[in-house]
Amino acid sequence: MSEAPAEILAAARAAGRTLLSEVESKALLASAGISVTEARLATSADEAASLAAEIGFPVVLKVASTEVAHKSDAGGVIVGVADADAARAGYERILADVGRAEPNASIDGVSVQRQAEPGTEVIVGTTSDPQFGPVVMFGLGGVFVEVLKDVAFRLVPLEQRDAAQMVREIRGLPVLEGVRGQPGADLDALERLLLAVSAFVQAHPEIAELDLNPVFAYPAGHPDGGAVAVDARVVLGEAVTA
Q: Give whichever of 139 and 195 is closer to ligand ADP, judged by the CB atom.
A: 139
Contacts to Mg ion from residues 166-225, by CB under 5 A:
213
* Geometric angle at alpha carbon 22, from 186 and 204, rounded to 5°: 75
Footprint of ligand ADP on 53-72 (CB under 6 A): 60, 62, 70-72
Amino acid at 33: G
Minimal distance in Å, beta carbon 176 to Mg ion?
A: 19
CA 227/CA 218 separation, integer angstroms: 6
Contact 93, 45 (CB under 8 A): no
Q: Indicate the residue among 134 and 214 with the shorter CB distance to ligand ADP.
A: 214
Contact set for ligand ADP, span 37-56 (CB under 6 A): 37
- DSSP-derived 3-state class of residue 9: helix
From residue 158, alpha-carbon distances to 43, 199, 201 in Å are 39, 8, 11
**Binding test (CB under 5 A) with Mg ion, winner from 24, 102, 162, 231:** 231
Query: Which of these segments, 9-17, 81-89, 110-118, 198-206, binds ligand ADP (CB under 6 A)?
Result: 110-118
- Would you say 113 or 126 has its CB closer to ligand ADP? 113
φ/ψ of residue 160, rounded to 5: -45, -45
Q: Which amino acid is at 215?
A: V
- Positions in the binding site for ligand ADP (CB under 6 A): 37, 60, 62, 70-72, 77, 79, 113, 115-116, 214, 230-231
- Positions in the binding site for Mg ion (CB under 5 A): 213, 231
